Each structure stands twice: as structure tokens, then as C-alpha cells.
Amino acid sequence: MTTSNQPAIHPSTRVVEHVAEHTGVDPLELEPLYDAIDPDALDQLFSRAGGMTGVCTLEFSYAGYLVTVAVGDGDTPDISVAELGTASGGQTEAAESVGE
């Protein structure tokens, strides 16, 4: 078993950071993530320690954006942030995908 001096960044933290980056605001200025989804459940769902295998995708609305968290064969979930459409209630065509 190998260890790292750097702690892993929780998926919930990464979601807030990516939405803040996408909107151009400080992460502390965003609404609390727990208003949209349970951060602990999100972290556990996408944690390899949680025993998840296979492909998993979760979509939810947060701070006016559609957030998609997906994991496949890699250890780090990919996070996509897309602006929610205002007139149609759907997703706009432009989306930003951020992965590590």
C-alpha cells in the first residue's frame, strides 16, 4: 500500500471549486453545496474506499448549473459543469468538462 503526503481532494470540494472557477467567483461566495446535495454522500459514492466498481454518473443542479460527476476506470471522478438554460429549463449547448 502506498501513501501520499498530499491528502486526496474530496469530490464535493472539487465540485465547489469547478463551479466557482466556471462562474468566476470565490468558492466561499457560492451557496452551500448541502443545499443541492449531501456532500458526505457524494464523497462516499465516488470514493474508492466505498467499494464502488464500474461506471457511475450523478447529475444535480447547483448554483444555477448542471453538475455531472462521473467515474469509470480511473480513480478520480470527472466533473462537468454546464449552465442551466433559463428559457427552456434545459442545459445549454456549451459545457465545460474538467477532470484530473
**Tell me: the pLDDT tens digits for 30-75?**
999 999 999 999 998 887 655 556 678 899 999 999 999 998 666 7
Measured distance CA(44)–CA(90) in Å, rounded: 28
Long-range contacts of 93-99 (CB under 8 A, 24+ apart): 96/18, 96/22, 98/18, 98/21
Q: Is the pTM of this model over 0.85?
A: no
Task: Provide the grid cell at 81.
Answer: 459543469
Instruction: Flag whether pLDDT at 23 surpasses 90.
Output: yes
Look up residue 10 and give its DSSP letter. P
